[in-house]
Amino acid sequence: MRLPRALCRLIFGLTFIFSGLVKLLSPVGTSLIFKEYFAALHLNFLSGTALYAGMLLAICEFTVGMCILLSVRMKLFSAIGFYMTCFFTLLTLYLALFNPISDCGCFGEAVHLTNWQTFFKNLILLPCIALLYFQRNKITPIAHPAVEWSFAGLFFLVAVALWILSYHYVPIYEFTPYKIGSYISTEDDNTSFETTFIYTKDGQQKSFTLENLPDSTWTYVETVTEMTGQAGQYSDFIIQDAYGNDITPNILYSDDAVLISVYEPAKLKARDWKRIENFAQKAMAAGADLYVASSVTGDATPESFPFEAGYGDRKLLLTINRANGGATLFSDGYVSQKWTAATMDDAELEELLQEDGETLVLRGAIRSNVIASCLVLGILLVMILIYYICKVSYKDSSLNKWRRRIKKNEQ
């Protein structure tokens, strides 16, 4: 049964790691999903706990997934994973039958599944974790209990750190349509654009897509954007000024436009408004077009705030920038950079506005991809390190005796 158990650990562990990681990288998005669940289940009185409920679920999924995959403290974490999966299976069956919400949100914005697809996904995970749970006493520990607990604690701390960084700062990596490097059109999905980047090396020119950029030995030449498909109606990206006029084209067709998005004005403190004001003034002084949008109709900004606020749908503002009072830099329709109210950097903004728009977008996209790659690589390195530590620790004779005693008790 070693091979089936290993296969089950792989399937279940990777699924939970991915699900938890996606939620950790988007705390605000996860809280919105929980609010939808609470509303659908008539538990609106729990809406205030949505952020922390999402945090606990994300940390738990990531930690359980890592422990299951690496066979750490299997008696405990196989039990946690089993009961979680049983609950999720029953919940998604209810969602599939009655359809109170259209998207379960188990993988956030990264992968959208229907309720039935999510239910069938859980039907695959359930026998995997059930096998591990009912054979948990037959699984040999990979290290001394103290070492295994250290590994579990490390996974927990990594999850907490990712959540804190993503919540208090711009998320490390985004899966939304407004992530850095995305092109935003005023047209609907019937209109699509294909962007290619021209590079040269050794006298040869070659085009690359944003997902397949070359290494540093190539020299950037230009960016080519071509429209494919037919133009349609305006998309959901609509921002209005204080008088109800649509200013969406002004933002997307500007060389450099900074959009301050405030989806909960009442929650911003005086120091936040002051920081936003200073950043906005620096942006205008550097030559950028400035726009402020609030989810509240009418001017919800403080009297001392010198800029008039327009209007944007709350969900739209949340999707553009997860931070309340965050700033987003648009360059010719591309999302170039994002800041939270706490991380607004005047010097960085001035430096970015001096760069060519296409170069700025390209650099931002590369930076996001590099960060995501480093995150995945870091997790893999941790796994390799744990394997090495366990392999070395098993050379200790006392540990081997303890291991044989465990096996004997199981027989």
Please provide residue 183's backbone torsions phi and psi, each rounded to the nearest 5 degrees. Answer: -100, 125
115 Cα distance to chain centroid: 21
Question: For residue 239, what are its two tokens?
Answer: 């921002």
Amino acid at 279: F
The distance from CA 164 to its chain's CA centroid, rounded to whole angstroms, is 12
Q: What is the pLDDT of residue 397?
A: 47
DSSP annotation of 245: -
| pLDDT at res. 64 | 98
Q: Is the pTM of this model over 0.85?
A: no
Q: Which two tokens stand for residue 340?
A: 């939270």
- The pLDDT profile of the chain, 411 residues, written as one tens digit per residue, is 789 999 999 999 999 999 999 999 999 999 999 999 998 888 989 999 999 999 999 999 999 999 999 999 999 999 999 999 999 999 999 999 998 888 888 898 888 899 999 999 999 999 999 999 999 988 888 888 888 999 999 999 999 999 999 998 878 888 888 988 888 876 554 555 566 777 888 877 788 776 677 777 878 776 665 655 444 334 678 999 988 899 999 999 999 999 999 999 989 999 999 999 999 999 999 999 999 999 987 667 888 888 889 999 998 999 999 999 999 999 988 999 999 988 888 888 888 888 876 777 777 778 778 888 888 888 888 888 887 777 666 655 455 555 566 556 555
Query: Cα-Cα-Cα-Cα dihedral of 351, 295, 325, 111, to 10°?
Result: -80
Amino acid at 38: F
Q: So what's the pLDDT on residue 175?
A: 87
- How far apart CA 374 and CA 151 sit, in angstroms, is 20
Single out the residue of 43, 68, 47, 53 nearest to residue 23, CA to CA.
Answer: 53
Predicted pLDDT at 230? 43
pLDDT of residue 131: 97
CA dihedral 87, 92, 93, 97 (to 10 degrees): 150
* Contact between 292 and 263 (Cβ < 8 Å): no
For the chain, the domains span 2-168, 191-232, 239-359
334 three-class SS = strand
pLDDT of residue 223: 66
The rounded distance, in Å, linking the Cα atoms of 56 and 27 is: 10
At the top level of CATH, which class does the domain 239-359 belong to? Answer: alpha beta
- Identify whether the C-beta of residue 223 lies closer than 8 Å to the C-beta of residue 362: yes
Q: Which residue from 284, 264, 277, 258 is spatially nearest to 360, judged by alpha carbons?
A: 258
Model pLDDT, residue 398:
52
pLDDT of residue 10: 95
Structure tokens at 266: 């009442």
pLDDT at 231: 41
pLDDT for the residue numbered 193: 54
Contact 81, 68 (CB under 8 A): yes
Per-residue pLDDT, 129: 98
Q: Give the span between the Cα atoms of 151 and 145, in whole angstroms.
A: 10
